[in-house]
Each structure stands twice: as C-alpha cells, then as structure tokens.
Amino acid sequence: MYTNLSRILHYNSAMDFLKLVQHRRSVRAYREDPVPPDLLTSCLEAARLAPSATNSQPWHFIVVTDTEVRSRIAELTRLPGSRMNAFAAQAPVIIAVVAEPPRLVTQIGALLQKTPFYLLDIGIAAEHLCLRAAEAGLGTCMIGWFDEKKVASLLGIPKGSGLHRRRVSLLITLGYPADAPREAKRKPLQSIVSYERYGGEGN
Amino acid sequence: MYTNLSRILHYNSAMDFLKLVQHRRSVRAYREDPVPPDLLTSCLEAARLAPSATNSQPWHFIVVTDTEVRSRIAELTRLPGSRMNAFAAQAPVIIAVVAEPPRLVTQIGALLQKTPFYLLDIGIAAEHLCLRAAEAGLGTCMIGWFDEKKVASLLGIPKGSGLHRRRVSLLITLGYPADAPREAKRKPLQSIVSYERYGGEGN
C-alpha cells in the first residue's frame, strides 16, 4: 500500500530542489518489493547526466539484483562483530559504482593539483542517482566501507592498467523504505559559510 | 530583462529532477548583474543539507564578491598563455569550497579503504549548490585547477593540523549566464551500466 501510494505521490510530481534534498535520507531499512525497471533506469539516467572534470564521465554502474550475489556483497560490507551495514542484505538492489580511468589530461591535472578529481565526479553522479531515487519515493544509502578486492572479484571488474587502476568507490543500496528514516542533522549555515575571507562574517 | 525573466521562470517553479539535471550546465560566460542575497543563501542552504560519510559535513564555503579579491582568485586559475578559466574573472561571485577535517573515524576508514571519502562529500555538496543555482536561473562552473596555496593564503584559510590538512578542493563561479551554454554530451546509458557483473548485459 505504502509503496504504491508513495510512487503515486512522488513519481510524477516535481518537487522544488531544496524540498527534494530534505526528502532524501540515508535509508537503512528496506521492503522486499522490487524496484520497477523504469524507475531504476531513470535513476541511472540521472547519474549518466552528471557533470565531471573535463567531462570524463569516469564511472560505471553495476546493478545487482541477484539474491545470492547481493547477499555476498552485503556480507563484504560488514565489520566482524558489528551491526554496521547489516541493512545492506535487505535492499532489493545494490549498485556498485566503479571509478573508470578519466581522460589522461585530467589524471595529470589531478596529480599536479593533488586532488583526485574523479572522486568528486563519482560523488556527484552517485548523488544524482540518489536524488532521483528520492524523488521517485525510493530509498538509498551510500556505503563506502567494504572489502573492495573481494567485491571487484565477485563482480568481475577488470583491474585496468596505467596511472589509474579501476576502483570500486561506493556501493549504493536501493529499494522502497521500510520505515520513515530519521531526520538528518546538519551544522547551521553560519558555521559553514564565511564571506570574503575564511572566518569572515557579513551579509 | 533576461535576468528577471529567468528568475520569474525558474525561481518558484519546481522542476522534475531529470529536467533540472539537464538544465544545469557549466556556465563560462556571465552577466555583471549581482546575485540576489536570498538566492545565494538558498544555494548555500542546498549545500548545507548534503549528505556526507558519517555525517561529517567536512566543508566550508567562502563567498567572495569583492571585485579585487575575485580578480586575484581568477588570475590564480589561469595557465600562462592559455585561455583556460579566463571566464572566472567575469563571475560576480566566486565560492571557494574548503575541505574541513572529517570525523576521526572517517579519516581512519578513508585510510583503510584507500578512498578519501571527504572528496565524495565535497563533490556532493558542491553539486547541490550548483543544482539549486540552476533551478534559480543562475549559472555555475566548478573549477578544480588553481594555485591552491596562493588561494588559501589570499582567503586566510588556516592550515589545520594532524592527519587531515585543510584543503581548497574547488572554486565555483556563480552568476547569471550571459548566453545559452552549449549542450553537454554524455556517454550512452548502455556503455556505463552493466547488470549483475561488469560488462554484463540484460534488462
């Protein structure tokens, strides 16, 4: 019921961006209901359209729905003896976000600037996916902690060569939320914004 | 005229997320018109609400409008003899995105995972800002190439200490677009998505 209702409420109704941002939460409890293929595709489409340094689009998304593979991936996100990431096994979809080699000029720029730009790009594309999911009434959670080598091997991800090895940067769980996730707490605006100089006040 | 019109068209009209994503472009030509403070604040608010690893919110935004400081920053984004980033001097606002130290547990996790999670977080928050700007009819461009030391010194950014030094990860130009930016080209969906395994087809 809730699932269908939330689809009707969200899927075709445009939300203003600040509301959408507040609506997106890290969802750590999922219903079993599968994600409709058209919604899944629209989430991937949102990621596809993301901007990136020199438009390298250094990403690849592996959509895992197979029960067996999902539960093995979920196992690889656990810390022994901890409940951390236990929810991952519930999600009907896990998406592995693979960092692909950016353009050579971007790799060189990243080295000189000492900032691996591709991670900014991956964050942006992953968030596009999560925001589109939120708009459609779906829940997501980004997971950065997992046994990368074993996930890469499980999903048959080739290592790549040269300056930039292929990496698995993130896992994203996707599905209908099982309950209302807790509200996100954020620092107040005045503590994260300065005017003209660091620590400067104004406005 | 265009400016006011675009504000009327965009500011109060919710856009569906895929349309908003397509509407956002990297804008490299700006009008002189200042950015209204309420719109600027709503862009910062969108960034403030961004998710981050362990909710560290490892960011600080320095809003620069002073003509002299802006032109010095713009100068620091140039490659000698190149036209690259020449547009930065035009933008009425430049926002320096400073990476603040994340929680210690996140720093340790990032080291063990060999992924500096804070860059994913910075990418997400910066994109929130840019998407809110796009919704409001404003243009933005993220600039990753600049003389970080000189920018940090110019803006009085303290180095910080310990495991994580404070960094300037990005500059974002902000203002009303002077012309219609070119359309963004993206790879087709089938080249960036696999099902079940890397390179796997389906659906």
The residues spanned by each domain of chain B are: 2-178
Q: What is the pLDDT of residue B202?
A: 55
Kindly give, in sequence order, each residue whose CB lies less than 8 Å from that of residue B77, ignoring residues fewer than 6 positions away. B84, B85, B88, B143, B145, B146, B147, B171
- Spell out, as residue ranges, where chain A has pLDDT lower than 50: 1-12, 203
Reported pTM = 0.92
C-alpha pair distances (Å), B63 with each of A55, A63, A195, B30, B172: 26, 39, 5, 17, 9
Residue A170 β-bridge partners: A97
Q: What is the pLDDT of residue A14?
A: 67
Kindly give, in sequence order, each residue whose CB lies less than 8 Å from that of residue B110, ignoring residues fewer than 6 positions away. A144, B53, B102, B116, B117, B118
ipTM attached to this prediction: 0.91
Residue A67 in contact with partner chain B when CB distance is under 8 A: no
Distance from CA of B1 to the nearest CA of A (A): 24
pLDDT average per 10 residues of sequence, chain B (203 residues): 42 76 95 97 98 97 97 92 86 97 89 94 98 97 97 95 85 95 91 94 57
Q: What is the pLDDT of residue B144?
A: 96
Q: What is the pLDDT of residue B160?
A: 84
C-alpha pair distances (Å), A114 with each of B98, B148, B170: 14, 10, 12
Q: What is the pLDDT of residue B45?
A: 98
CB contact under 8 A, A115 and B144: yes
Q: Give chain A positions within 8 Å (CB) of B126.
A: 120, 124
**Taking a contact as any Cβ pair under 8 Å apart, which residues of chain A between 8 and 27 contact chain B?**
14-22, 24, 26
Q: What is the pLDDT of residue B80?
A: 80
Residue-wise pLDDT tens digits, A61-114: 999 999 999 999 999 999 877 778 889 999 999 999 999 998 888 899 999 999
Q: Which fold has domain B2-178?
A: NADH Oxidase (3.40.109)
C-alpha torsion B38→B44→B46→B52, nearest 10: -170
**Taking a contact as any Cβ pair under 8 Å apart, which residues of chain B between 139 and 178 contact chain A?**
142, 144-146, 148, 155-158, 167, 169-170
| Among the partner residues B124, B145, B199, nearest to A124 by beta-carbon distance | B124
CB contact under 8 A, B189 and A48: yes
Q: What is the pLDDT of residue B140?
A: 98
CATH number for the domain formed by residue range(s) A2-192: 3.40.109.10
* Paired tokens of B103: 């929680």
Q: What is the pLDDT of residue A1?
A: 38
CB contact under 8 A, A194 and B63: yes
3-state secondary structure of A70: helix
Q: Give chain B positions within 8 Å (CB) of A192.
A: 44, 47-48, 57, 59-61
| Among the partner residues B21, B47, B157, nearest to A46 by beta-carbon distance | B21
Q: What is the pLDDT of residue B165?
A: 87
Helix axes A104-113 and A117-135, enclosed angle (nearest 10): 110
Kindly give, in sequence order, each residue whose CB lies less than 8 Å from that of residue A177, ignoring residues fewer than 6 positions away. A27, A29, A30, A31, A138, A139
